[in-house]
Structure 1
Amino acid sequence: MSEEANTSGWDAIDQELSRIYGDQEPKHYGTILPYSLGGQDPLDGLSAYKSDTPVPHWHFVTYGFSELYEKESENAEYSGYGFELTFRLARSEEEEEPPAWALNLLQNMGRYVFNSGNVFRSGDYLDANGPICLGADTLLTALAFTLDPELPAIDTPNGRMEFIQMVGITGDELEAMQTWNTLGVLKAGLGQFPGYVTDLSRDSLLQIPSVAEAIEKGMEQEGSNTGILYVDQLAWEPGKKGWFSKNPDMVKLGAKQAGVIGKLLRGRILKGKSLILVGQEIRVVFEPGENAGCSTEDHEVTITLNEAAAAELSQSLVPQESAFELFSLPGLKFQIVKTHIKDQEGNVVETIG
């Protein structure tokens, strides 16, 4: 960057980090060819600081989700997407360089946001469908997002931005976050998970009885905060209503998400809240009501569930290939199909159902 370049957004981030780390010179990794000119890495830079509080770890900070230079967006309130990501990764005493996989993971988050337009906010979660460190022997297969405990939101010359900390989580922790809420699960495990520092070697928080009990209690009392769930395998087949044969309408779901959806229905419908499943070509809306029924309009299916239908359906939705109808909702069939988990090369590495 030349001396004449306006780096006011970048400087605001540096100033906030200097408040914590003083004169520590971070390990910084810049991008040679900008993403806008065909480069592979969407983020302009990544810094990694050594921290010893509450445990030794690398503290990564991104540069590029917010506006680092001139103000370009029309939204005067927020800088760019309104956030930068941070990531705290456990560090051994002899470790002098941050692991490359963590840098690649953060750049992958940049590609996701830049390509999809979806942003991360505190309380979000993301299923990585495999180890967050490719090839590692780890239970951490998903990510949660919360506010960085040391970096409050700041006002920059280009608008306001937050520091959103990315946290590695296990598959059952992800399910608990879906069926309750992200921040509740993280808070319940804070005593075992200081600073939300990601440690590839840790076990699930749900293996700790006191944490599992607190999460179960939260689910029962509050229900689920997940009102919309994006479902890879979701389809709708209208039934045939001929004179000589009648086939019921059918909802198809993948086995991987069937169990979670069953738990979500208990945490939403039984609390008087709706649940929306969003697939590539169809939306299925489950809503509470006194009389169970089903209706369709354009690319949306609305299924009304009373308590009996919600309980029956939630018990039937398990991660196993099957097809079934509900006694409390005649004329509608559900089919659970196998889910094939693939690696980046497209090879099937796991089959569920």
Structure 2
Amino acid sequence: MSEEVMTTGWDAIDRAVKTIYGEQEPKHYGTLISYALGGSDPLDGISVYKSVEPVPHWHFVTYGFSELYEKETEDPEESGYGFELTFRLVREEDEEEPPAWALNLLQNMGRYVFNSGNVFRAGDYLDANGPICLGADTQLTALAFVKDPELEAMDTPNGHVEFLQMVGITHDELEAMQTWNTLGVLAAGLSHIPSYVTDLGRDTILADHSVAKIVQEGMEKEGSNTGFLFVDQLEWSAGKKGWLRQTPSVLTIGAKQAEIIGKLLRGRLLKGKELTLSGAGIRVAFKSGQQNEFEHSEDFIHITLNDETVEDMSQKLLPKQGEFEVSMKDKMNIHIAKTTITDQDGNIVKTIG
């Protein structure tokens, strides 16, 4: 006799979606071999629905970030990672099948979460380092995360689950979100992205002067909500003191993220907030103070900067290879290193700096 499989979490998602689409039969894309058994796709399935409001679009809903079957994790409050992803993509008039690239994108999000343990929350963003649809002529090169406008958060027997919607965004929209906040930028441009439906052909919302004005005023008034930034290139070389000369300590960052780090320093430290950069095995925390100084251990560096130095650094942190000195008692330099961007096969497709 076979043991009956409990589908408690799966059934809860089905019920939630049914409140929107009724008896519409979705196009469902399941996984033949589970990730736990060596399969390549981490999500157990993705259902895709046809929606017509506010514009015709595909509505993707994942199954797999939450606990779909019996409760396995120790946290009784949350089901699995505590969310499922959704994605709304403009649907062409004659389009009968959802684009495969969008399904692959959602599975890639699953790989990222399953392999890193990092979870998404409303207000988060993720730089894709290239078009979100590989090979497409689109300005959308990053993703933001908001609460799905129709699917409400729910409590299941396995714990709480939120539905987070991915939104394709442009590079300058990403920078605006980093230097102000994600939800504020998206709300300002909602008339251009109704229900946050992703349209590969759209222009940046910041091309609208009224939107750009709202974003700029938000930055100036509130500063940045980004207190923690993952940095691809981040290194620290401790200086040495000799009898006749002193070798400066050197903080190395990549050219790709140099400019946004400069903007974040202004948006955080000048508002009395801290900024932490996190790289492979190292963290660098900046805070404001009267005197420039730093303390360091093997994997943690704490740097204090006065307002004048913050302003000066923000002007010098540019996407260009080079090095400059930061004025303080113990000598410290900032080195900006070239950044190389590679494709899935490891081929260099772009060099910055």
Matches within 5 A, 1:146-295: 146-295=146-295
Deviation readout 1:86-105 (Å, 9 max, x if unpaired): 00000011100000000000
Amino acid at match of 2:46: L
Alignment of 1:290-305 (within 5 A): 290-305=290-305
TM-score (norm 2): 0.97
* Partner-residue secondary structure (3-state), 2:201: coil
Q: Any conservation in 1 of the 2:102–2:133 contact (CA below 8 Å)?
A: yes
Q: Give yes or no for contact 1:123–1:181 (8 Å, CA) kept in 2.
A: yes
Contact 1:262 1:317 in 2 (8 A): yes
In structure 1, distance between residues paired with 2:282 and 2:76: 35
> Are 1:326 and 2:337 counterparts?
no
Can you list the C-alpha shifts for 1:301-334, whole angstroms capped at 9, x where unaligned?
1110111111111111111111111346772111
Secondary structure of the structure 2 residue equivalent to 1:191: coil
Corresponding letter in the other structure for 1:323:
E
Partner of 2:139: 139
* Structure 1 contact 65–82 (Cα < 8 Å) conserved: yes
One-letter amino acid of the structure 2 residue matched with residue 45 of structure 1: G
Percent identical pairs in the alignment equals 66
- Structure 2 counterpart of 1:43, one-letter code: L
CA distance, structure 2, for counterparts of residue 116 and residue 279 of structure 1 = 13
- Distance in 1 between the 2:176 and 2:3 partners? 49
Q: CA deviation at 1:292?
A: 1.3
Using the alignment, how far apart are the partners of 1:161 and 1:282 within structure 2? 32
Gapped regions of structure 2 (runs ≥ 5): none
Question: SS where residue 240 of structure 2 aligns?
Answer: coil
Report if the CA contact (8 A) 1:312-1:328 is conserved.
no
* Alpha-carbon contact 1:87-1:165 (below 8 Å) kept: yes
Per-residue displacement from partner, 1:191-242 (whole Å, max 9, x unpaired)?
1110100011111111111111111111111111111111111111122321
- Equivalent in the alignment of 1:317: 317
1:25 alignment partner, SS class:
coil
Q: For 2:225 and 2:329, how far apart are their aligned partners in 1?
A: 26
Report the Cα distance in structure 2 between the residues aligned to 1:182 and 1:89, rounded to whole angstroms.
Answer: 20
Mapped partners of 1:101, 1:286: distance in 2: 39
Contact 1:309 1:329 in 2 (8 A): no
1:255-279, Cα deviation, whole Å (9 max, x unpaired): 0000000000001000001111111
Kindly indicate whether the alpha-carbon contact (under 8 Å) linking 1:312 and 1:326 is maintained by their aligned counterparts in 2: no
Structure 2: how far apart are the matches of 1:8 and 1:37? 21
CA distance in 1, matches of 2:20, 2:191: 23
SS at match of 2:256: helix
Partner of 2:112: 112
Distance 2:123 2:278 in 1: 19
Q: What is the aligned partner in structure 2 of residue 28 from structure 1?
A: 28
Matched position secondary structure for 1:150 = coil
Q: CA distance change for structure 1 residues 309 and 330 in 2, over 3 Å: closer, same or farther?
A: farther
For 1:9, the equivalent position in structure 2 comes to 9
Aligned-partner residue type, residue 347 of structure 1: N
Cα deviation 1:47-97 (Å, max 9, x = unaligned): 000001111100000001111111111111111111100000000111000
Partner of 1:176, secondary structure, is helix
Q: Write the distance in 2 (CA, Å) between the matches of 1:337 and 1:74.
A: 43
Aligned counterparts of 1:141 and 1:3: Cα–Cα separation in 2: 46
Code of the aligned partner of 1:46:
I
Is structure 2 residue 51 aligned with structure 1 residue 54?
no
Q: Give the structure 1 partner of residue 64 of structure 2.
A: 64
For the Cα contact (< 8 Å) 1:86–1:163, is it kept in 2?
yes
Cα distance in 2 between the residues matched to 1:199 and 1:193: 8
In the alignment, the residues of structure 2 paired with residue 231 and residue 14 of structure 1 have an alpha-carbon distance, to the nearest angstrom, of 38
SS at match of 1:93: coil
In the TM superposition, what are the counterparts of 1:83-94 in structure 2 within 5 Å? 83-94=83-94
What is the letter of the counterpart of residue 326 of structure 1? V
TM-score by length of 1: 0.97
The Cα of 1:244 is off from its aligned counterpart by 2.5
CA distance in 2, matches of 1:51, 1:108: 24
Q: Tell whether 2:343 aligns with 1:343.
A: yes
Residues 14 and 50 of structure 1, relative CA distance in 2, 3 Å threshold: same
Please list every run of at least 4 consecutive aligned residues from structure 1 whose deviation after the TM superposition is greater than 4 angstroms: 327-330
Q: What is the root-mean-square deviation of aligned Cα atoms in Å?
A: 1.3
Residue type at the aligned position of 2:94: E
Structure 1: 5+ residue stretches without partners = none
Q: Is the 8 A contact 2:292 2:327 kept in 1?
A: no
What residue in structure 1 maps to residue 306 of structure 2?
Answer: 306
Distance 1:279 1:155 in 2: 35
Could you tell me how far apart the structure 2 residues matched to 1:330 and 1:136 are? 49
Q: Report how many residues are paired.
A: 352
Q: For 1:81 and 1:278, locate their aligned partners in 2 and report how far apart those are by CA, in whole Å.
A: 22
